[in-house]
Structure formats: structure tokens, C-alpha cells
């Protein structure tokens, strides 16, 4: 009996000592027995010992969240995937604070030890990470609604019916998910899906299909309304070609079927060029006796295609089932029709005359002068318009009827098509000069040409042209129209430009031309010509002195005020004599020899 008492006494003493230690301040360095975090017992452990156990036991990296799609798709995610992490320091600090003597005393500690305390871990959540995961799932689940439409394969048309789509509501799905995420529990979630209805129903597409089939039912024929002699057309576009241009736009409330406007415009481009007609002004000459215009050549109404309006009409008529469509053409009237009168234009008297002489010209030069002058006969220059010689002269070629005659090219006088045209330009310059019109562009010849000094005109009263670089231009600066009339007097070898308009009272004072001292040419130039007989020499050009000439004028208005004070300079270069020689001929010692016989 005494031994039993002794044992019991020892056990009681040990228990009292253990309980005393646990209730005493020695236990403050460890978690109190009975402390649980989530479902993990951590009592009696130091924070350092509790940390690895806590991390190992929490299911943060376990795929406990499963998203189940409508077709059985499954996406397994861990809390960590969804942005959930544990704040271990805060969690352990919270657990370590339970049952400490400085907070609840012995009674509180004893209660924890006897009844136990379960704490939730301190979690931190990254909402954006959750949304990113759900948006990736939404990208796989989302399906756009399919509008009803008409599909084309070649010239074949087929209706594609509409169907509903769906869209995952990530925000609503996250709200369902969030409580389970914080509870760290396993769960299967069905995402919130919204139905998307198509905007274009089958009936609307069926309507478009019917219109499109109508459009491609037969070939399109484009017609020229009120055709003129020599007009091309009609043009036919087959259904296959039309199908390649077909556009079908089906809206909620409308259907648009037709040929693509850009493709149709490209198709119509060559047609528009073929049908284009430039308006042609009537040409006249002035009858000085009646003071009336006499018609020389009638006017011609121009025409051009309105491409945009033609495209609109084509599509409108095709949709209506019409396949013979007239193109939309607009007439462009001439500026001067046959009915215009001298009084209408203010053409009532002579306001300027220019003349030049071509005595001694070859038959080819004579012919070129007459043809060139005819291009300007009957022209009307409107108020404010700048006359361009090259513009009205047009093409100078054998095809246009011009012959070869001598022209200046570079530092040589050679045969060229249209020699003599500068005689026409010179005459036009003189008419504009004496008419008092402002001269916009005038170029002198390279060297003095005798033709342009016939009739008493001094050097510098000339004008040269070389299309398109060198032109002669003047401006009609009056409020009245100007009629140009040309005359060729064969007996006197004289060309005249006569300007008819309304005299504004302006006067022209000629000044000069004055000239400087002659500049003698350099040594004669000799060039070997193997085609010449031996010992012969032929002169191609005679020597001409160089000269600086200055022609001026003062143009005054009716009140005597100076309108223009002009100076026209001409720097004529000295022109050497040029010869060709054959084998055996010895050029003079002072000659410039440009080529010699080859051994």
C-alpha cells in the first residue's frame, strides 16, 4: 500500500510539474497545445517547426478547382493558379498569440489546451491573376454568333444559315468561384455563359440570295445612248465575270447586292476613254464689211462618261432584273458654238497686225509655213487666256503633213521636219507686239536669219520655237475676246497675223531695234565627207556676223498711263562658214578641221 501511494504521489507531482510548465511562462515560446490552423495541429511547435508543416499541408498547389465546360471540357486549377497565396508570417503570428499569458492568463491558456482552437490561415488574393486564368478559358469557350449569309463559289451561290454564339461571363463566374477559393476546398464550377443571337436572320440572307441570283441570271450588256458615227460598243459582261465582281451586303434591315464599285470603275475606264469626245469650237473669219463673224468650221459638242453615275445605274437596273443598261454620258458644249456673234464676243475691229516675208524660200519651207499658219486661223482667245504657240501648233511630223527644210539644231543648220515654222511664230510675235498684248515668253534665234529682216524689220524682231521646251506665249489682258486670222499672200510671199477684237485705246511706241557692233565669225569649219568626189569642196553654210540687238516698246492705255515697258534682247552668235570636202582636197591653213580622211 505504501508503494502504491509513493507511485501515485510521484505521478501526481510530475503531472503538476508538466501542467505547471505548460501553464507557466516557459510555454510562451511555442504554440499552445490545442492550436490548429485550418485542419493542421500545430500545438507545442515553435514557429520555425510549424512553418514547413503548414506549407506542406495547405492545398495551395493542388488542382482543387475544376471548371467544367458545356461540352464536358475540364480545366483543373490550383488556388495558386488563381492568385491565392498564404501570408505565413501573419498566420504564424496569429497562431502564436493564442493562449499567451500576457493576453488571456492561465484560464485562457487552460481553455485552449482543453477545448482547442482552429484558426483560418491568413490568405492574400491576386484578383487579376484569377481573371487572366478565366479569360484564357473564355477564349476557348467563346463562340461568335454566325450571321446568315450568301456564299459564292465561282458563279454558284449558296445560303449559309445563322446559328447562335456564346460568351463566358468571367466576372459572374469569378463570384461563384471566390468563396470556394478562400475556403481552399475542392469544387467543380460550371461557368456562366451568355447566349449571343445572330444579327442577320436566315430570311434576310434568303432575300439577298434571290437578288444575287437575279443579277447573275444572264450577261450584262452596256449600251451607248444616242451613238455617234464610229462609236464602239455595245459591251457584254458574262455571268462569270459579274460573279467575280459581285458584292452581297446583308444588314439587319437591309440587303445590298451589286457589282463592286472599284472593280466596275476599272472595267469602265477604257470604255470612258473610247467614248470621250473633246468639244471643238467653231472657227470663224471676220467680215470687215459687215462686221460679222463668218463660220469657217462648225463646232462639235463634246461628250464624257459619268463613271460614278453609270455604276449606280448599272447596279440599280441589275437589282431590278434589267441586264441591258445604257451608260450615263454627259454632253460638254463647246465654248464657241456656231451661233456665237461678233457682238457677243466683242470682236469688232482690227487691233493688231503682224507680218513677215519669206521671199526665196524653198517649196518645202513655203509648204510648212502655209500648213503651220493654218493651225491658228480662226482661233479665239478669251479674256485673261494665255496663248501658247506650241499648244495650237500640235504635232510637227511627216504624218501631220510637214516637209523637210532647214532648221537650227545646236550649232548647225540642218535639214529637219517643219523648217519654216519659226516664220509663223515670228509673225505671231509681231502681231502681239503691235497689238500691245503682254508677251509672256519669247526666244530669239541662235543667229541672224535673213528671212526675218525682209520688209524693213531690223534684227531682233523674231521669235523661235522648239516644242515642248521653247514656246511663244502672250496673254489677252483685255475684257474682250480676240480672233486670230492668218493670211498668206503668195504673190508677195507675205504671211500676216491679224488680230480682231475691241480697241481699248491703248497705243504702242516702238523703240529700236538698236544694235551693237558686229562680231566676226571664227575660222571656217571643214568636215571630211567620203561621199564627195576627190578634190571637191561644198559650202553648206555661209558666215554670219554675231550681233547684240535690243528691241523695246512702251504700251500706254487710253489715258496715257504706261501699261508695259518691255525690252526684248537678242544675242546672235557669230556663225562660221561650214564646208564639206572630199579626198585629196586640202583645207585652208586658217580653217578649223573637224574630221579628216581615215587611212
Q: Is the pLDDT of residue 123 over 90?
A: no
Cell of 59: 492545398
DSSP track, 273-314: HHH-B--B--EEEEETTTTEEEEEE--B-EEEE-HHHHHHHH
Cα 336 from Cα 344, distance rounded (Å): 10
Position 102 confidence tier, pLDDT thresholds 50, 70, 90: low
Q: Who has greater pLDDT, 269 or 458?
A: 269
CB 432 within 8 A of CB 540: no
Angle between helices 88-96 and 47-57 (to 10 degrees): 120
- pLDDT for res 425: 93
Q: Who has greater pLDDT, 419 or 395?
A: 395
Cα 420 from Cα 428, distance rounded (Å): 13
- pLDDT for res 105: 64
Position 442 confidence tier, pLDDT thresholds 50, 70, 90: very high
Cα 245 from Cα 239, distance rounded (Å): 10
Position 226 confidence tier, pLDDT thresholds 50, 70, 90: very high
Position 274 confidence tier, pLDDT thresholds 50, 70, 90: very high
Position 201 confidence tier, pLDDT thresholds 50, 70, 90: low
Stretch 502-508: mean pLDDT, rounded?
95
Cα 303 from Cα 552, distance rounded (Å): 46
Position 43 confidence tier, pLDDT thresholds 50, 70, 90: confident
Query: What is the residue-averaged pLDDT of the chain?
Result: 85
Domains of the chain in sequence order: 18-62+74-141 (no CATH), 212-279+289-332 (3.10.20.800), 342-595 (no CATH)
pTM higher than the cut 0.85: no
Stretch 395-410: mean pLDDT, rounded?
70
Q: Which stretch of 321-325, 400-404, 424-428, 438-442 has the lowest confidence by average pLDDT? A: 400-404
Q: Closest Cα to residue 77, out of 122, 120, 134, 126? A: 134
CB 512 within 8 A of CB 458: yes
- pLDDT for res 5: 63
Cell of 143: 463562340
CB 319 within 8 A of CB 259: no
Q: Is the pLDDT of residue 590 over 60?
A: yes
- pLDDT for res 75: 94
Q: Is the pLDDT of residue 364 over 90?
A: no
- pLDDT for res 479: 96
Amino acid at each position: 500500500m505504501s508503494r502504491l501511494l509513493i507511485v501515485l504521489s510521484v505521478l501526481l507531482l510530475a503531472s503538476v510539474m508538466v501542467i505547471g510548465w505548460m501553464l507557466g511562462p516557459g510555454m510562451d515560446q511555442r504554440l499552445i497545445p490545442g492550436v490548429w490552423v485550418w485542419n493542421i495541429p500545430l500545438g507545442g511547435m515553435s514557429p520555425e517547426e510549424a512553418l514547413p508543416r503548414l506549407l506542406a499541408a495547405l492545398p495551395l498547389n493542388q488542382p482543387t478547382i475544376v471548371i467544367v465546360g458545356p461540352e464536358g471540357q475540364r480545366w483543373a486549377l490550383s488556388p495558386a493558379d488563381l492568385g491565392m497565396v498564404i501570408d505565413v508570417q501573419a498566420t504564424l503570428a496569429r497562431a502564436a498569440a493564442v493562449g499567451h499569458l500576457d493576453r488571456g492568463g492561465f484560464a485562457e491558456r487552460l481553455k485552449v489546451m482543453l477545448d482547442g482552437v482552429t484558426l483560418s490561415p491568413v490568405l492574400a488574393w491576386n484578383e487579376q491573376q484569377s481573371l487572366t486564368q478565366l479569360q484564357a478559358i473564355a477564349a476557348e469557350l467563346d463562340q461568335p454568333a454566325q450571321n446568315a449569309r450568301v456564299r459564292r463559289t465561282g458563279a454558284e451561290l449558296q445560303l449559309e444559315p445563322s446559328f447562335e454564339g456564346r460568351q463566358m461571363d468571367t466576372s459572374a463566374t469569378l463570384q461563384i468561384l471566390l468563396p470556394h477559393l478562400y475556403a481552399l476546398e475542392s469544387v467543380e464550377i460550371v461557368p456562366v455563359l451568355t447566349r449571343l443571337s445572330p444579327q442577320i436572320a436566315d430570311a434576310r440572307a434568303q432575300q439577298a440570295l434571290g437578288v444575287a441570283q437575279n443579277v447573275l441570271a444572264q450577261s450584262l450588256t452596256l449600251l451607248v445612248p444616242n451613238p455617234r458615227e464610229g462609236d464602239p460598243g455595245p459591251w457584254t459582261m458574262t455571268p462569270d465575270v459579274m460573279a467575280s465582281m459581285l458584292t452581297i451586303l446583308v444588314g439587319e434591315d437591309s440587303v445590298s447586292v451589286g457589282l463592286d464599285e472599284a472593280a466596275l470603275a476599272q472595267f469602265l475606264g477604257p470604255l470612258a476613254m473610247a467614248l470621250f469626245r473633246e468639244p471643238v469650237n467653231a472657227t470663224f473669219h471676220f467680215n470687215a464689211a459687215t462686221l460679222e463673224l463668218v463660220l469657217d468650221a462648225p463646232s462639235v459638242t463634246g461628250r464624257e462618261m459619268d463613271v460614278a453615275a453609270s455604276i449606280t445605274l448599272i447596279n440599280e437596273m441589275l437589282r431590278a432584273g434589267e441586264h441591258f443598261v445604257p451608260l450615263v454620258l454627259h454632253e460638254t458644249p463647246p465654248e464657241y458654238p456656231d451661233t456665237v456673234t461678233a457682238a457677243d464676243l466683242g470682236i469688232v475691229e482690227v487691233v493688231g497686225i503682224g507680218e513677215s516675208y519669206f521671199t526665196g524660200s524653198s517649196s518645202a519651207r513655203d509648204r510648212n509655213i502655209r500648213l503651220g499658219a493654218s493651225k491658228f486661223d480662226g482661233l479665239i482667245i478669251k479674256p485673261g487666256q494665255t496663248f501658247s504657240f506650241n499648244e495650237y501648233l500640235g504635232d510637227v511630223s511627216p504624218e501631220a503633213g510637214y516637209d523637210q527644210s532647214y532648221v537650227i539644231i545646236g550649232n548647225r543648220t540642218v535639214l529637219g521636219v517643219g523648217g519654216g515654222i519659226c516664220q509663223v511664230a515670228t509673225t505671231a510675235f509681231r502681231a502681239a507686239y503691235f497689238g500691245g498684248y503682254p508677251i509672256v515668253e519669247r526666244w530669239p534665234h541662235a543667229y541672224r536669219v535673213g528671212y526675218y529682216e525682209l520688209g524693213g524689220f531690223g534684227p531682233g524682231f523674231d521669235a523661235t520655237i522648239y516644242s515642248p521646251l521653247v514656246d511663244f506665249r502672250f496673254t489677252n489682258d483685255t475684257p474682250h475676246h480676240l480672233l486670230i486670222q492668218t493670211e498668206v499672200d503668195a504673190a508677195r510671199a507675205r504671211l500676216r497675223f491679224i488680230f480682231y477684237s475691241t480697241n481699248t485705246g491703248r497705243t504702242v511706241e516702238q523703240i529700236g531695234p538698236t544694235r551693237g557692233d558686229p562680231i566676226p565669225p571664227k575660222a571656217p569649219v571643214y568636215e571630211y565627207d567620203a561621199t564627195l568626189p576627190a578634190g571637191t569642196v561644198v559650202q553648206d553654210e555661209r558666215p554670219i556676223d554675231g550681233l547684240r540687238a535690243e528691241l523695246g516698246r512702251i504700251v500706254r492705255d487710253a489715258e496715257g498711263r504706261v501699261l508695259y515697258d518691255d525690252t526684248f534682247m537678242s544675242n546672235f552668235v557669230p556663225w562660221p562658214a561650214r564646208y564639206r570636202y572630199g579626198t585629196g582636197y586640202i583645207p585652208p591653213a586658217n580653217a578649223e578641221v573637224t574630221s579628216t580622211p581615215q587611212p
